Amino acid sequence: METRINKEIRSTLEKFGDKYFIEDNVNKSKVIQDLDRYEKHLLREFIHNEKIKENFTIDIEGNIVLQTNKLIELFEADEYWQDSYTKYSKKIGLTVNGKFIDESADVVLDFPYKDTVLKASMSKEDTEKDDLKPNEPFLNEMIAKEEIDVLLDKKVLVNAKKYSRDRMEEVDRFNNDDNLIIKGNNLLALHTLKEKYAGKVKLIYIDPPYNTGNDSFNYNDNFNRSAWLVFMKNRLEVAKELLMDEGSIWINIDSNESHYLNVLLDNIFDEHNFIADVIWNHTKQSKNDERFFSRHYNHLLVYAKSKESLSNFQAPRTEEDNKNYKNPDSDPNGLWRAGDVRSPNLRQTLKFDIIAPDGKRISPPENGWRWSKESIEEKIKTGEIIFKSDNTGIIRKIYLKNQSGRTPENIWLESGTTREANQELKSLFGKATFSTPKPEKLIHKIIQLASNEGDIVLDFFMGSGTTQAVAHKMNRQYIGIEQMNYINTVSVPRLQKVIEGEQGGISKDVDWQGGESFVYVELIEKNRGFLNSIRGAENQNQLREVFEFMLKEAEIDFKVDLEKVKETLHELSLDDQKRTLIKIIDKNQLYYNYSEIDDENVRDLISDNDYAFNKSFYEESGE
């Protein structure tokens, strides 16, 4: 990949003839030497280039200062002219002030790849070690800023369909209250949604890959935790933008990465906005194959967008919660129970005596009273506070009529299990379709606590579609994102069954009878035309023509030796040739940006129906 910055630097150096070139290669050592000694002619040309000026200068009170240190770092990166690299392209380790420990006596732990966008797939089959091994690049936010802007720009949407109880039909319009399912890379899909849904989502729940080595996050490098954290960081940052100030995010994770993720979330959402680490019991069966402990729980890390704006979570009340409410004195306000009158913290100003009706002095508790003297006197007048029968203390009345809910606990023992979740899927599809699905009961509890009817619920690791199924039954608007093909064999069919009125999961608890609808769309891959041609080839000659055209025109970002494929492809059967070429295309899932929708080569790939849908989806959001 040759970046625009790369091209601008080369064109600037070419103004000096052969001074900075050895044959056609840039003499990086010479460039670094002249930057280091502030060679004024070179610096002047760099400053005069608008693109270099934009990315490598700062304005100090009207004076333009060239950041030569960043340019030097750029040229010191190996193979710069083949790719975009961070300063960590060769060395990962301990640094201080950007220098490694062999360059400084002071040491600080520095997070590798901290300034990168991870352009990575989510699927295990995209990262098999012996299967067209990928070498996907990290894109530096400064050096390749424009490339990242293009990568994260909103995408063209195709195959727009609406599923309702009676039918599935193509649609050319999107209504802002439609439920939405998107097939495609979730990082790019989140950025596609950002303009339209920024500040509108009430609840985000995700169940991401846990980075256990056996899940769907199997990134092929020696810094697996760093890669996983960057993978999560990129997605959580844009997710935060989608949340409304009154919203919250709930992340299901196991103990493998929960503590690292907690620190990352503190950084993104601010540790002040941490709400809770909820423990939920996901299995009842003991695991005898565990070496030390049989682990029976997962974490739910809960953060607010803004704790000050977030309403208190209220769990529904049960008969058990109300059993202590009585009315022994026939209070007209109804059932009540005694509440605490003590201050939770030491408050000297709240230490005062209270005079009982018979003249006895009632001494304050150790920390003082919960209220001021004036407030207590007012509550005595209204009957909210009464005196004990022997006038030795006071009683605060908490009325049942004022209790709309209760404060939830952070240990959930009865929120469904993985086994129950598997049974829910088996009842729908006749077989287990996921290894560790989440039960509807768990998602029901989260949605009940953190949202109201009509609120938008987002899950961008959609999986089997539990979040969307429960949100649908609970009359929430929802958005789901999934990249894997099982979205069309499990997730969407599950939602179709929900619309038809299936009675599994929480259906009976919420009296679900079916109905409503959702819209399904896909991000269109840049190489979709090649995929169609490969699949449609009827013989090896037709397939060879497609491949020859691929060699000239396909946008292949994935590191694969196409010439080597060309030499050996004929040795395979027609079906194996197709599988090989499709695999190459699948590993280059770049997508067309909406800004390209009127380009001739893009417009030809889009139906009139999808073209109209895109215009409706984006233009109504202010495009």
d(CA 207, CA 158): 26
Tokens standing for 501? 């009125």
Give the pLDDT of residue 213: 63
Condensed to tens digits (0 to 9), the pLDDT of residues 330-349 reads 999 999 999 999 998 888 99
Q: Give the contacts of 229 (CB within 8 A, at least 6 positions apart).
A: 111, 260, 261, 264
Decide: helix, strand or coil at residue 458.
strand
* C-alpha dihedral sign at 420, 422, 427, 430: negative
Give the pLDDT of residue 91: 40
583 vs 370, residue with greater confidence: 370
Decide: helix, strand or coil at residue 399.
strand
**Cα 44 to chain center, whole Å?**
43
386 strand-pairing partners: 395
Task: Enumerate domains of the chain plus CATH numbers.
Answer: 4-140 (no CATH), 179-315+408-516 (3.40.50.150), 325-402 (no CATH), 528-617 (no CATH)
78 vs 144, residue with greater confidence: 144
CB 441 within 8 A of CB 416: yes
Q: Model confidence at 432, in pLDDT bands (50, 70, 90)?
A: confident
Give the pLDDT of residue 588: 57
Give the pLDDT of residue 218: 43
- Whether pTM exceeds 0.85: no
Condensed to tens digits (0 to 9), the pLDDT of residues 253-262 reads 999 889 999 9
157 strand-pairing partners: 523
Q: Model confidence at 565, in pLDDT bands (50, 70, 90)?
A: confident
Instruction: Check whether 161 has a pLDDT greater than 50.
Output: yes
Instruction: Check whether 597 has a pLDDT greater than 70.
Output: yes
Phi and psi torsions of 280, nearest 5°: -125, 140
CA triple 422-236-474, angle to 5 deg: 45
Instruction: Check whether 559 has a pLDDT greater than 70.
Output: no
Q: How is residue 521 annotated by DSSP?
A: E
Instruction: Check whether 400 has a pLDDT greater than 80.
Output: yes
Instruction: Check whether 623 has a pLDDT greater than 90.
Output: no
Instruction: Check whether 379 has a pLDDT greater than 60.
Output: yes
d(CA 499, CA 492): 11
Give the best-scoring range by mean pLDDT among 130-139, 211-220, 292-301.
292-301
- Which stretch of 95-109, 407-421, 468-482, 542-556 has the lowest confidence by average pLDDT? 95-109
Give the pLDDT of residue 116: 45
| C-alpha distance from residue 150 to each of 4, 139, 153, 241 (Å) | 12, 12, 5, 19
- Number of other residues whose CB lies within 10 A of the CB of residue 431: 8
CB 543 within 8 A of CB 534: yes
Give the best-scoring range by mean pLDDT among 77-91, 384-398, 536-550.
384-398
- Which stretch of 51-65, 266-280, 414-428, 522-536 has the lowest confidence by average pLDDT? 522-536
Q: Exposed, middle or buried by CB within 10 Å (0-12, 13-18, 19+), for 254?
A: middle
- Which stretch of 207-221, 404-418, 602-616 has the lowest confidence by average pLDDT? 207-221
d(CA 473, CA 424): 15
CB 395 within 8 A of CB 410: no
The count of C-alpha atoms lying within 13 angstroms of the C-alpha of 198, restricted to the half-sphere facing its C-beta, is 9
d(CA 157, CA 429): 29
d(CA 593, CA 527): 13
Q: Model confidence at 215, in pLDDT bands (50, 70, 90)?
A: low
| C-alpha distance from residue 406 to each of 308, 321, 361, 412, 610 (Å) | 20, 8, 35, 15, 47
SS3 content of the chain, % helix, strand, coil (to 5): 40, 20, 45
Tokens standing for 365? 């508790």
Q: Give the contacts of 237 (CB within 8 A, at least 6 positions apart).
A: 268
Average pLDDT on 393-417 reads 92
* Longest distance between any two alpha carbons in the chain, whole Å: 108
d(CA 159, CA 613): 10
d(CA 438, CA 494): 14
Give the pLDDT of residue 583: 77
pLDDT, the chain, mean? 84
- Which stretch of 72-86, 394-408, 592-606 has the lowest confidence by average pLDDT? 72-86
CB 239 within 8 A of CB 458: yes
Instruction: Check whether 567 has a pLDDT greater than 90.
Output: no
- Which stretch of 25-39, 89-103, 571-585 has the lowest confidence by average pLDDT? 89-103
**Helices and strands (H, E) in the chain, number of each type:** 21, 25
Instruction: Check whether 106 has a pLDDT greater than 70.
Output: no
Give the pLDDT of residue 73: 78
d(CA 579, CA 585): 10
d(CA 489, CA 510): 26
Average pLDDT on 39-52 reads 91
Q: Give the 3-state secondary structure of 115-133.
A: CEEECCCCCHHHCCCCCCC
Tokens standing for 284? 């009842």
Average pLDDT on 497-501 reads 97
Tokens standing for 563? 């010439």
d(CA 304, CA 166): 39
Instruction: Check whether 551 has a pLDDT greater than 90.
Output: no
